[in-house]
Amino acid sequence: MPPSDQPVFVGSSASPSVSSASATAAQATPRVSGRPQGAPTSTGPGASPVVPTPTVPGASRVGTRAPVVDHGPRTGNRVALTFDADMTDGMLANLRAGRVRSYANLRILDLLERDQVPATFFLTGKWVQRYPEVTRRIAGNPRFELANHTYGHAAFTADCYDLPRLPVDELAADVAKTFEVIEPYGGRQTRYFRFPGLCHDAAALDALAPLGVTVVDGDVVSGDPFAKAWKPLVRAVLDHVRPGSVVIMHVTEANAAMTDEALPHILAGLRERGLTPAPLSEVLAEG
């Protein structure tokens, strides 16, 4: 596959190539809320001093293929704990019918808050809309970052865990809508994005070019969806975690019922290995 389609880590010399010569200077800086990052707040005679807008973590060059990150630099001792918050139409139907009590595992939040553990949450728009108070709780914690996991957890490629697939021409609008849903909650907003099932191809990455995002996969998969026991999750994480790792877990309770049981043991194992959880943005920037 072409170099621009290969996973990279922040701080490496690899970077996505410009998708066409028509990418202009206006496209060269990511836009969040309709304004280029780093643009001056005022210009012209008599204007106030120029104050650059702080760069949003994960913001990439608009108009280029979205870069893909698996992990941070293998230096230091920090790792990122990330939690996906899936929500599909089928999951919403389960809630309405009473077949499922909850897809929001508050025990995970309780533990992270009690032990003051940083984490990054990849939120679907429909999960946010179903659990606004939980989202507000996440956004209100300065140790938590908010990231994007699509609006309704649909697949962006074929053959992705039997998820319904979105047409390519609808991908960017789906992700943009999710940012719009998350943004009003404030907190530590990012331009990080994770594909459902980690399923993506060149067409999906190109579709995200107008949004200026960084795609985050991960190098440590806990395997918590539909797990029946917690010990295999602990082994899956601790057997593979290294400095700079991005650990993938879920906060969806009914679909990942063992995660809160495994998490204390995972945290203890990280401490034994001299590894410290940190926000995703800090892990990717380390080095």
| Beta strand ranges found along the chain (DSSP E) | 31-32, 35-36, 68-69, 78-85, 119-123, 144-148, 188-193, 214-216, 220-221, 246-250, 276-277
Q: Please state, in angstroms and as integers, the Cα–Cα distance from residue 63 to each residue in 7, 106, 147, 201, following that order.
A: 18, 38, 20, 17
Quick: pLDDT tens for 184-205.
999 999 999 999 999 999 999 9
pLDDT bucket at 54, cuts 50 / 70 / 90: low
Q: Residue 48's pLDDT band (boundaries 50, 70, 90)?
A: very low
Q: Place 286 in a pLDDT band, splitting at 50, 70 and 90.
A: confident
Q: Using the 8-state DSSP alphabet, how is residue 254 labeled? A: G
pLDDT at 40 over 90: no
Q: Which residues pair with 247 in a beta bridge?
A: 81, 220
6 pLDDT exceeds 70? Answer: no
Alpha-carbon gap, residue 280 to 119, rounded angstroms: 7
DSSP reduced 3-state for 57: coil
pLDDT tens digits along 72-111: 999 999 999 999 999 999 999 999 999 999 999 999 999 9
Q: What is the reported pTM?
A: 0.83
Q: Which of 8, 10, 28 is nearest to 18 (CA)?
A: 28
Q: What is the pLDDT of residue 35?
A: 29
What is the predicted pLDDT for the residue at 55? 86
